[in-house]
C-alpha cells in the first residue's frame, strides 16, 4: 500500500480537481460518506457529536452530520463563526443550517457549556478539527477542545488523522485526539504509523474517495502489508537441494555473548537458507555446535578477552568464497582491533553484507569505509546506533524517523533498516517503506540478532537488499505478533520469535494472519 506525505496528498487532491474535473465538494461528500459508513458499522448509541474545524476536515465532518442526522441525534460544534468558514466546508455548513441541525460555536459561552454537557452524554465523537495539513503548535483554545474530547467517556472516530498529529512525523503538536478508529482518505499518511500518532490513530481504515488510480502510479513510498510482501516469498521447487537456497556466513559472538550468535544462526536457518557457516571465536564454538547442530561452526582466532582478532579475515575469505551472503556484528565487542576486521570484510567481501549491533558501533568510527564498497550492504541500527552513526542524539532520530533513515541510507550508500515501532526500510534514493507488524515484546535482548539472521538468509536465497529487508522486517514482526498471542508481550523472548518464524511464513503464504489491522 502506497504512503504519502501531507504535501503529496494535497497535490493528489489538486490534480483530481484540476485535471480530472472532479469538484472538491464531490471529494468531500465521498469522504463524509465513508466516515458515516464506518460509524454505522461501529453500531454505537443514538447520540453523535461532531467537532468541526474551519478547513476541509471540518467540511468532511459536516457531511458526516448530514448523512447521519436521520439515524442519530446529531449535535455539531464549530470553532469559529460561520463567516470564517469558506469554500466547500461553508457550503456543507449552510446545508446543516437549512436542515436546522443544532450547530453551536465553541467561541461562545453557550457553545462551551453545551459542549461539556454533550461530551458527558454522547455515544460517539467525530473528530473533524484538523486534517493532514497541521504543522504548527496548537494554541490553548484548541488544546482545551482536544483535552475535553479525550476526557469524554465516549469513543472517538477521527476524520483523516487524529487532530493534533503531524501527518508527516507522527508527533503531537501540543495535544492530540486519541481515537479508537481513524478513517483516512485515498492513502495512509506517515503519521498514522509513527509514534505517538500510531497510538492515537486506533484502527485505521483507508477509504476510496475517488482519487484517480493513474495519479498514484508515480508514488514510491509504501506501507508493508501482506499484499506488498507476499510476492517477495522465495519459491521452493520440488527438486531443490540445500545449494538451491544459498549459504550464509555469519560472523558473530564473543566470550559471554554466545547467545547473540545462537539466535542469529537459528534465525538464518529458520529463514530458509540451505547452509549456514557460523564463524565465532574459538571459545564459544562448542556452545554453537551444541545449541545449533544444523550449523557448520568455524573457530576464529580470538583475543585474550574472547573477542575476534583481525587475523580472522584470512579464514573468512576462504569461507565466503563458497557463500552467498554474509552477516556480521551480533555479539561482537567494540574492541578497536575489530575495526580492522570490519574494514577487511567490507572492502574485500563481494557478497551482500548485513551489518548489525557492534558492527554498527565500529562503523560509526570509520564512516567512509562503505563508500569503497561495490557489493550490496544492509545496515540494521536501532535508534541509539543510528544516533552514533549520524553523530546525533537518539531523541533527534526518533523525532524524524523517516528523515533519519533516509540520511543514513544516503550517507552510507546502504539499504537501511531503522528498527523500532514501526521499523523503517530506506533506500539510498530516498524511498521509504514502513512496517506494520510487531509489538512491544520485540523490545527485548536478542530480537535484533534474530532479524539479522533472517535477513542474511533471504539475501542468500537471491533477494535483492531492499526486498530482503522488507520481507525480513515484516516476517520478524509477524513472528513476534504470533508469539505474543501465546505468551504475551511482557514475557516475549527473542527465542520465541525464532520459534514462530515458521508459523509466520505459513501465515503469510496462506493469507491466514488476521490478528492485526493493516489499514485496508
Residues in a beta bridge with 275: 247
Mean pLDDT along residues 395-417: 97
pLDDT at 519: 52
Residues in a beta bridge with 276: 248
Mean pLDDT along residues 29-54: 98
pLDDT at 475: 98
pLDDT at 517 over 60: no
**Is the four-CA dihedral 29, 18, 16, 78 of positive or negative sign?**
negative
Per-residue DSSP letter, 515? S
pLDDT at 518: 54
Distance CA(496)–CA(516), nearest Å, equals 19
Q: What nine digits make up the cell of 27?
A: 471529494
CATH says 227-234+242-437+444-510 is which class? alpha beta
pLDDT at 515: 44
Mean pLDDT along residues 1-21: 96
**pTM (global) more than 0.75:** yes
pLDDT at 13: 97
**Is the four-CA dihedral 505, 511, 515, 517 of positive or negative sign?**
positive
Distance CA(295)–CA(285), nearest Å, equals 11
Mean pLDDT along residues 18-46: 97
Domain parsing of the chain, residue ranges: 6-219, 227-234+242-437+444-510
Domain 6-219 indexed as CATH 3.30.420.40: no
Distance CA(228)–CA(1), nearest Å, equals 7
Cβ(454)–Cβ(501) below 8 Å: yes
Mean pLDDT along residues 460-470: 98
pLDDT at 464 over 60: yes
Confidence of residue 223 (pLDDT cuts 50, 70, 90): very high
Cis amide bond preceding 46, omega within 30? no
Cβ(327)–Cβ(356) below 8 Å: yes
pLDDT at 172: 97
Q: Which pairing describes strands 353-355 and 377-379: parallel, antiparallel, or unpaired?
A: parallel
Mean pLDDT along residues 199-222: 96
Distance CA(59)–CA(53), nearest Å, equals 8
DSSP secondary structure string for all residues of 226-285: HHHHGGGSPP--TT--GGGG-EEEEE---TT-HHHHHHHHHHHHHTT-SEEEEEEEGGGH
Cβ(481)–Cβ(168) below 8 Å: no
pLDDT at 511 over 90: no
Per-residue DSSP letter, 432? E
132-184 pLDDT, tens digit per residue, is 999 999 999 999 999 999 999 999 999 999 999 999 999 999 999 999 999 99
Mean pLDDT along residues 420-432: 97
Mean pLDDT of the chain: 96
pLDDT at 445 over 70: yes
pLDDT at 520: 46
Mean pLDDT along residues 51-56: 97
Distance CA(232)–CA(473), nearest Å, equals 12
- In the chain, pLDDT over 70 holds for what percent of residues? 98
**In Å, what is the CA distance from 430 to each residue of 7, 155, 473?**
16, 38, 18
Confidence of residue 372 (pLDDT cuts 50, 70, 90): confident
Sheet holding 377-379, edge to edge: 222-224, 432-435, 424-426, 415-418, 377-379, 353-355, 325-328, 247-251, 275-281, 296-300
Confidence of residue 514 (pLDDT cuts 50, 70, 90): low
Amino acid at each position: 500500500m502506497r504512503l504519502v506525505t501531507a504535501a503529496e496528498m494535497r497535490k493528489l487532491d489538486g490534480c483530481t480537481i484540476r485535471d480530472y474535473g472532479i469538484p472538491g465538494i464531490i471529494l468531500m461528500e465521498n469522504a463524509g460518506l465513508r466516515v458515516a459508513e464506518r460509524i454505522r458499522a461501529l453500531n454505537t448509541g443514538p447520540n453523535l457529536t461532531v467537532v468541526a474545524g474551519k478547513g476541509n476536515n471540518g467540511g468532511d465532518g459536516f457531511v458526516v452530520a448530514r448523512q447521519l442526522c436521520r439515524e442519530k441525534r446529531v449535535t455539531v460544534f464549530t470553532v469559529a463563526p460561520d463567516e470564517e468558514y469558506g469554500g466547500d466546508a461553508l457550503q456543507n455548513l449552510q446545508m446543516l443550517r437549512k436542515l436546522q441541525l443544532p450547530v453551536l460555536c465553541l467561541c461562545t459561552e453557550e457553545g462551551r457549556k453545551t459542549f461539556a454537557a454533550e461530551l458527558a452524554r454522547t455515544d460517539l465523537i467525530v473528530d473533524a478539527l484538523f486534517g493532514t495539513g497541521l504543522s504548527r503548535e496548537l494554541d490553548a483554545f484548541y488544546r482545551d477542545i482536544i483535552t475535553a474530547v479525550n476526557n469524554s467517556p465516549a469513543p472517538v472516530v477521527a476524520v483523516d488523522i487524529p487532530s493534533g498529529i503531524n501527518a508527516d512525523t507522527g508527533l503531537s503538536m501540543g495535544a492530540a485526539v486519541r481515537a479508537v478508529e481513524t478513517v483516512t482518505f485515498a492513502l495512509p499518511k506517515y503519521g498514522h504509523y509513527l509514534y505517538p500518532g500510531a497510538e492515537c490513530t486506533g484502527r485505521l481504515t483507508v477509504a476510496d474517495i475517488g482519487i484517480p488510480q493513474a495519479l498514484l502510479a508515480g508514488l514510491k513510498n509504501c506501507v508493508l502489508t501482506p499484499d506488498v510482501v507476499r510476492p517477495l516469498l522465495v519459491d521452493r521447487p520440488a527438486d531443490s537441494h540445500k545449494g538451491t537456497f544459498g549459504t550464509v556466513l555469519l560472523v558473530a559472538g564473543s566470550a559471554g555473548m554466545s547467545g547473540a550468535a545462537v539466535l542469529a544462526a537459528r534465525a538464518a536457518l529458520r529463514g530458509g537458507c540451505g547452509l549456514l557457516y557460523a564463524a565465532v571465536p574459538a571459545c564459544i564454538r562448542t556452545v554453537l555446535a551444541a545449541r545449533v547442530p544444523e550449523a557448520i561452526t568455524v573457530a576464529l582466532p580470538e583475543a585474550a578477552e574472547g573477542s575476534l582478532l583481525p587475523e580472522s579475515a584470512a579464514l573468512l575469505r576462504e569461507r565466503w568464497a563458497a557463500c552467498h551472503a554474509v552477516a556480521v556484528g551480533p555479539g561482537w565487542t567494540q574492541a578497536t582491533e575489530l575495526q580492522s576486521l570490519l574494514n577487511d570484510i567490507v572492502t574485500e567481501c563481494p557478497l551482500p553484507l548485513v551489518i548489525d549491533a557492534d558492527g554498527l558501533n565500529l562503523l560509526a568510527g570509520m564512516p567512509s569505509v562503505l563508500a569503497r564498497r561495490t557489493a550490496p550492504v544492509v545496515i540494521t541500527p536501532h535508534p541509539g546506533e543510528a544516533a552514533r552513526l549520524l553523530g546525533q542524539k537518539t531523541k533527534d532520530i526518533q523525532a524524524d524517523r523517516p528523515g533519519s533513515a533516509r540520511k543514513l541510507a544516503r550517507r552510507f550508500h546502504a539499504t537501511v533498516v531503522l528498527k523500532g515501532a514501526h521499523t523503517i526500510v530506506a533506500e539510498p534514493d530516498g524511498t521509504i517503506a514502513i512496517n506494520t507488524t510487531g509489538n512491544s515484546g520485540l523490545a527485548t535482548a536478542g530480537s535484533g540478532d534474530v532479524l539479522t539472521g533472517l535477513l542474511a538468509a533471504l539475501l542468500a536465497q537471491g533477494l535483492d537488499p531492499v526486498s530482503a529487508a522488507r520481507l525480513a522486517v515484516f516476517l520478524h514482526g509477524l513472528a513476534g505478533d504470533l508469539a505474543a498471542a501465546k505468551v504475551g508481550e511482557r514475557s516475549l523472548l527473542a527465542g520465541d520469535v525464532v520459534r514462530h518464524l515458521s508459523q509466520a511464513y505459513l501465515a503469510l503464504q496462506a493469507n491466514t494472519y488476521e490478528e492485526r489491522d493493516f489499514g485496508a
